[in-house]
Amino acid sequence: MLEADSRLLRAMKIFDGLEAAAIKAFSSQCRTLRYRKGRQILGQQDDTNDVFFVIEGTVHLVGYSGSGKVVSFGDIGPGGIIGEFSAIDGLPRSVSVTALTDCELARTGSTVFRDFLSNQPGAALKVLEAIVAKTRSINDRVFEYSTLSVDNRLHAELLRLAEMNGLEKGSPGRVTVISPAPTHQEIAMRISTHREAVTRELNRLATEGILGLSRRRIELRDPDALRGILAHAQLE
């Protein structure tokens, strides 16, 4: 493990507006770690409370029921934070976190993190905003599971993936490439269905020209059409 580079942390939203000296002092108490794609970073119910900052790559959050059913809680990309819940409340990890791609993370202890937030109210506000965003995302998924069909849940997930790959939320649509795209099985896990249902609807959308499909690549050619389908379903 190497000491985290303050220049890398400075680019993260949580450090916006902070003096360079404050960022450098904090980064000196962080360590940089690299995780290969597929490696577990945190385990559900782990009794640890370190905080991780995603510098490069994307991680995936999942939960497991007692019977082994997998529930997806989404992805976190560069600039995101993981592990802050346990650092704040001292409870075991609520989800498992796995490297979706090769990743570089900065890691620090809960005491260092809490002291930093106590002394830097601007950073504390950014962390609150990040927690609210995660809560809203979970609320959206609960609403989708309760009100939308499998096909419409897939549409919502495709738009989320596109937004992670550069599509601006609510802006006029443009062609957006999702690459590397999750497998059909991985998408099915995220929306609580089976692979065949995902494959069938993706192929239908491709036939209509809304998507382009190739190996581990989804080209969202008409995001406005997909938004329209989803908006109509939400009004029913």
Per-residue pLDDT tens digits of the chain, which is 236 residues long? 566 677 778 878 888 888 888 998 999 999 999 999 999 999 999 999 999 999 999 999 988 887 777 888 888 989 899 999 999 999 999 999 999 899 999 999 999 999 999 999 999 999 999 999 888 988 888 888 889 999 999 999 999 999 888 887 766 668 899 988 889 998 998 898 999 999 999 999 999 999 999 988 999 999 999 999 998 888 76
pTM of the model: 0.79
Evaluate whether 62 touches 74 at the Cβ level (below 8 Å): no
Evaluate whether 176 touches 220 at the Cβ level (below 8 Å): yes
- The count of other CB atoms within 10 Å of the CB of residue 54 is 23
For 148, the token pair is: 């939308």
Q: Kindly tell me the burial class for residue 38, based on how many C-beta atoms sit within 10 Å of its own C-beta (0-12, 13-18, 19 or more).
A: exposed
Task: Please report the pLDDT score of residue 121 as a whole number.
Answer: 93
Q: Is 170 left (phi over 0), alpha (psi -120 to 50) or beta?
A: left
